[in-house]
């Protein structure tokens, strides 16, 4: 390559400087052998401070550096700089280094005699990126500045990361005269950055692994819940049926013992599932208005037999100053009370158990006091931890998993309260918890009851098969032989006619052929599952699509109830189920559905879809004759909104449309449609696309049924007006 002359050209094509290519150093010309660490002289084209500020600002090389203090200052600055400084001359063959400061020699390990006159390629090695070298060559060729990182090598072969800044220096004619390179050894910084990235990736992998483990745990618990509940349903149901047969005293004692063991196992399964929900953050609390004394009454009723059997007293006292109706989660309040009362009765051999509810400022304070064996100080300190019981003898005598009090602590905490215990060994115990007290708006007249006592447990009433007409015709879709046998026997003994099918395809065919009052649908069946079967039934023509469908399933994990309702079912009854709950739920669904007239072409309104009370309130508020017109507007708007929802827009749009739909549906009493829209809104807000799509798939059928029911209601209103 020929040497370029200094001319008026603004760029020259030269091999790159620092970190480019490595050849043996050429013979050093006289001008390339300054003293180590000395800056280039006047011929190098550096500005002369004596030329004045303008010349300095322009970088003018017209005057040589003054022989005074300024060159010495520059030399001292370059020598003291902690960063490597190197100057190469692109006007000479191979763009040799003509200056390097002490920091450059310290970083690279090369002495001055091994640097001056050489191209910077001697710093390269196997780890130097060819792409970085190409970038450097392009910057030199185009005479432009560059900041880049690349791997270079020290004289002893150790690699380092060079953060390099290149800057071109031009002569008065605009031609490139020098390349100034400033380098930093950033090896430690790059290692720290890499370590931080590695740690971040590891943390992200750990987070994803934890999420997968949590999901797998939830799936496992859902599976095991189903697998345990299904045989339990057969066991407890069969024992319940046995109690209706003629048994002698010994046989009845065996049946009662077996049933108590089954109930204990079911209680333990429920505790494990509750703990799993809490730890996974999937336990959702309700915020509804309820009668404050109702959970207390429920607990007294459930504990009455055990207290009577032990001959101990059981009562509850409620401060009359408390509101009769409050806002909160009655199910979880009942669960905490039940755990505490069950323990109190279990550990009390004589005396009494008393539940007290009082008010302290804006808090509800609940106490459960017993006269039992008490708790030692050492146990009190760890009482609310998992698997804690008084001792192994206690566990053998009284049973239990040791999870109840820990679940109470977690539930009370979720509800915004705290729980504590006061006790002495041999002197009884007082468990106390407090919760926020929020009075409901709708307060009934009259004082709250001051004292509650359970009714004396009555012997079970003899049951006999009905001797009259059937109470109704039911379809039971259940593939488990034991569950099918037990449920059918319970329902038939209660007076229902029951048809049996074993999968979803048979259920759809039977629903299309027959005329049923209620369909009980297992959700996990071979072939067509209960969700898909429900969707097909809802798509049937005429009244067959409107029959109430009750999910009768061992699926009892978070989200199972919502999924059943979103699929078009009208209720959810988890297995194992007792006879009273099964018969009562079926009867309630039948009461919500209008009775079919003996021969009547037009079915009545679908009460399972509509809230008639809301419709009547709306009719009264609007005045005579206006409800049918507004229902017609709602029908048209809902059909248009359904089209927008099914266009599968982004989740924020789905959330907005679902919110509008639930509000409008609630106004017109379309209760089932409102619940489905609320579920869709929640899924969209949570970013759960899969669940949102699942809810969307079930929405058209529900909209069709709801609008049909509203249209019939509008027609009836118009007829009543005429």
Tokens of 284: 């959702």
Of residues 103, 92, 240, the one with CA closest to residue 184: 103
475 contacts 455 by C-beta, under 8 angstroms: no
Every domain range in the chain assigned CATH 3.40.50.2300 = 472-592
pTM: 0.46
Phi, psi (degrees; rounded to nearest 5) at 364: -95, 125
Of residues 99, 91, 116, the one with CA closest to residue 15: 91
Q: How far apart are alpha carbons 594 and 611 in whole angstroms?
A: 13
510 contacts 533 by C-beta, under 8 angstroms: no
683 contacts 566 by C-beta, under 8 angstroms: no
Q: Which fold has domain 472-592?
A: Rossmann fold (3.40.50)
Concatenated DSSP letters of 117-186: TS-GGGG--TTS-HHHHHHHHHHHHTT--EEEEEEEE-TTS-EEEEEEEEEEEE-TTS-EEEEEEEEEE-
Of residues 567, 486, 7, the one with CA closest to residue 229: 486
477 contacts 506 by C-beta, under 8 angstroms: yes
In this predicted structure, what is the pLDDT of residue 322? 92
For residue 159, list its beta bridge partners. 153
**DSSP code at position 439:** B
**Distant-in-sequence, close-in-space partners of 23: CB < 8 Å, separation ≥ 6:** 94, 119, 121
Residue 606, exposed/middle/buried by CB under 10 A (0-12, 13-18, 19+)? buried
For the chain (722 residues), the mean pLDDT of every run of 10, in chain order, is 36 40 38 44 41 38 44 81 93 92 94 93 93 93 93 95 94 91 94 93 89 73 68 77 81 80 77 74 82 90 86 91 91 91 90 93 94 82 62 46 79 93 86 93 63 56 42 88 81 90 91 89 87 91 87 71 83 78 84 47 45 72 68 82 77 79 79 83 76 80 84 66 52
In this predicted structure, what is the pLDDT of residue 602? 35
**DSSP code at position 468:** S
Helical pair 249-279 and 404-414, crossing angle rounded to 10 deg: 40
Q: How far apart are alpha carbons 600 and 412 in whole angstroms?
A: 54
In this predicted structure, what is the pLDDT of residue 61? 38
CATH, domain range 612-721: 1.20.120
Q: How far apart are alpha carbons 329 and 411 in whole angstroms?
A: 10
CATH, domain range 289-452: 3.30.565.10
CA distances from residue 133 to 109, 151, 167, 646 in whole angstroms, order as listed: 21, 10, 16, 55
Helical pair 689-721 and 651-667, crossing angle rounded to 10 deg: 30
Q: How far apart are alpha carbons 585 and 595 in whole angstroms?
A: 17
Residue 475, exposed/middle/buried by CB under 10 A (0-12, 13-18, 19+)? buried
16 contacts 136 by C-beta, under 8 angstroms: yes
Of residues 532, 566, 571, the one with CA closest to residue 551: 571
* Distance, first Cα to last Cα, the chain: 107
Q: Is 476 helix (H, G, I), strand (E, B) or coil?
A: strand
* CATH architecture of the domain with residue range 30-185: 2-Layer Sandwich (3.30)
380 contacts 421 by C-beta, under 8 angstroms: yes
Of residues 524, 531, 479, 476, the one with CA closest to residue 225: 524
H helices, E strands: number in the chain? 21, 18
Of residues 177, 186, 228, 205, the one with CA closest to residue 62: 177
94 contacts 103 by C-beta, under 8 angstroms: no
115 contacts 34 by C-beta, under 8 angstroms: no
Q: Convert the pLDDT of each residue in 171-204 to its tens digit.
A: 889 899 999 999 999 999 999 999 999 999 999 9
Every domain range in the chain assigned CATH 1.20.120 = 612-721
Of residues 556, 550, 557, the one with CA closest to residue 476: 550
Tokens of 371: 């006269």
Q: How far apart are alpha carbons 324 and 290 in whole angstroms?
A: 8
Phi, psi (degrees; rounded to nearest 5) at 496: -95, 150
In this predicted structure, what is the pLDDT of residue 386? 56
Of residues 408, 447, 426, the one with CA closest to residue 323: 447
**Distant-in-sequence, close-in-space partners of 596: CB < 8 Å, separation ≥ 6:** 515, 543, 603
Q: How far apart are alpha carbons 693 and 410 in whole angstroms?
A: 33
Q: Convert the pLDDT of each residue in 154-176 to its tens digit.
A: 999 999 999 999 999 998 898 99
In this predicted structure, what is the pLDDT of residue 298? 86
Q: Measure the CA dihedral 665/670/674/675, to 10°.
A: 170
Q: How far apart are alpha carbons 560 and 544 in whole angstroms?
A: 25
**Distant-in-sequence, close-in-space partners of 692: CB < 8 Å, separation ≥ 6:** 651, 654, 680, 683, 684
In this predicted structure, what is the pLDDT of residue 156? 94
Every domain range in the chain assigned CATH 3.30.450.20 = 30-185
CA distances from residue 328 to 296, 358, 440, 603 in whole angstroms, order as listed: 14, 16, 9, 39
Please work out, in degrees rounded to the nearest 5, the angle formed at the alpha carbon of residue 387 by the alpha carbons of 382 and 392.
90
Of residues 78, 81, 76, 68, the one with CA closest to residue 98: 78
Q: How far apart are alpha carbons 503 and 498 in whole angstroms?
A: 16
Helical pair 504-513 and 530-538, crossing angle rounded to 10 deg: 20
In this predicted structure, what is the pLDDT of residue 200? 92
H helix intervals, 243-361: 249-279, 293-310, 330-346
């Amino acid at each position: 390559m020929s040497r370029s002359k200094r001319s008026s050209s603004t760029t020259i094509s030269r091999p790159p400087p620092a970190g480019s290519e490595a050849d043996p150093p050429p013979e050093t010309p006289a001008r390339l052998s300054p003293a180590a660490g000395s800056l280039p002289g006047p011929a190098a084209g550096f500005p002369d401070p004596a030329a004045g500020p303008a010349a300095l600002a322009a970088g003018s090389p017209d005057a040589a550096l003054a022989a005074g203090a300024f060159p010495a200052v520059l030399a001292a600055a370059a020598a003291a700089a902690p960063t490597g400084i190197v100057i190469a001359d692109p006007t000479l063959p191979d763009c040799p280094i003509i200056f390097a400061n002490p920091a450059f020699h310290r970083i690279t390990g090369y002495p001055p005699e091994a640097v001056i006159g050489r191209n910077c390629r001697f710093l390269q090695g196997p780890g130097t990126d060819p792409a970085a070298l190409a970038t450097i060559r392009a910057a030199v060729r185009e005479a432009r500045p560059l900041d880049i990182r690349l791997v270079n090598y020290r004289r002893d072969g150790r690699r380092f990361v060079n953060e390099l800044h290149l800057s071109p220096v031009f002569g008065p004619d605009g031609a490139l005269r020098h390349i100034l390179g400033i380098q930093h050894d950033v090896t430690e910084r790059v290692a720290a950055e890499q370590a931080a990235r590695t740690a971040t990736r590891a943390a992200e992998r750990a987070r994803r692994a934890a999420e997968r483990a949590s999901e797998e745990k939830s799936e496992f618990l859902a599976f095991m819940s189903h697998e345990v509940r299904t045989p339990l349903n057969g066991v407890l149901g069969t024992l319940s049926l046995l109690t209706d047969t003629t048994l002698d005293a010994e046989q009845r004692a065996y049946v009662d013992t077996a049933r108590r063991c089954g109930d204990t196992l079911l209680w333990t399964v429920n505790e494990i599932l509750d703990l799993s929900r809490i730890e996974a953050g999937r336990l959702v609390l309700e915020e509804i208005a309820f009668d404050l004394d109702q959970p207390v009454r429920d607990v007294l009723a459930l504990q009455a037999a055990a207290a009577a059997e032990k001959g101990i007293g059981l009562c509850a006292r409620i401060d009359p100053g408390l509101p009769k109706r409050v806002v909160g989660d009655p199910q979880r309040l009942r669960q905490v009370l039940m755990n505490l009362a069950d323990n109190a009765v279990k550990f009390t051999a004589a005396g009494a158990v008393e539940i007290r509810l009082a008010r302290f400022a804006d808090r509800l304070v609940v106490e459960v006091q017993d006269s039992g064996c008490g708790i030692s100080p050492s146990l009190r300190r760890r009482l609310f931890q998992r698997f804690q019981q008084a001792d192994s003898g206690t566990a053998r005598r009284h049973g239990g998993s040791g999870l109840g009090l820990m679940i109470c602590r977690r539930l009370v905490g979720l509800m915004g309260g705290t729980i504590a215990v006061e006790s002495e060994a041999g002197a009884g115990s007082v468990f106390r918890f407090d919760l926020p007290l929020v009075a409901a708006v709708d307060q009934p007249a009259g004082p709250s009851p001051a004292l509650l006592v359970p009714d004396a447990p009555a012997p079970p009433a003899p049951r006999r098969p009905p001797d009259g007409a059937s109470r109704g015709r039911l379809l039971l879709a259940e593939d488990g032989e034991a569950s099918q046998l037990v449920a059918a026997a319970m329902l038939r003994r209660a007076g229902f006619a029951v048809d049996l099918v074993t999968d979803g395809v048979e259920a759809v065919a039977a629903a299309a052929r027959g005329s049923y009052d209620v369909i009980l649908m297992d959700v996990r069946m071979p072939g067509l599952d209960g969700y898909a079967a429900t969707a097909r039934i809802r798509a049937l023509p005429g009244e067959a699509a409107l029959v109430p469908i009750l999910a009768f399933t061992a699926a009892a994990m978070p989200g199972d109830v919502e999924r059943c309702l979103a699929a078009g079912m009208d209720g959810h009854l988890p297995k194992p189920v007792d006879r009273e709950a099964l018969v009562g739920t079926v009867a309630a669904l039948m009461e919500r559905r209008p009775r079919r007239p003996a021969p009547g072409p037009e079915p009545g309104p679908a009460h399972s879809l509509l809230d008639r009370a809301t419709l009547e309130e709306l009719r009264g508020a609007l005045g005579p004759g206006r409800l049918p017109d507004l229902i017609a507007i709602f029908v048209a708007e809902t059909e248009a909104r359904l089209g927008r929802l099914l266009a599968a827009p982004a989740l924020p749009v789905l959330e907005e449309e679902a919110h509008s739909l639930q509000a409008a549906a609630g106004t017109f009493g379309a209760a089932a449609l409102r619940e489905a829209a609320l579920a869709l809104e929640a899924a969209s807000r949570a970013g759960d696309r899969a669940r949102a799509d699942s809810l969307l798939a079930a929405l058209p059928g529900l909209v069709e049924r709801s609008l049909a029911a509203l249209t019939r209601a509008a027609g009836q209103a118009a007829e009543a007006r005429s």
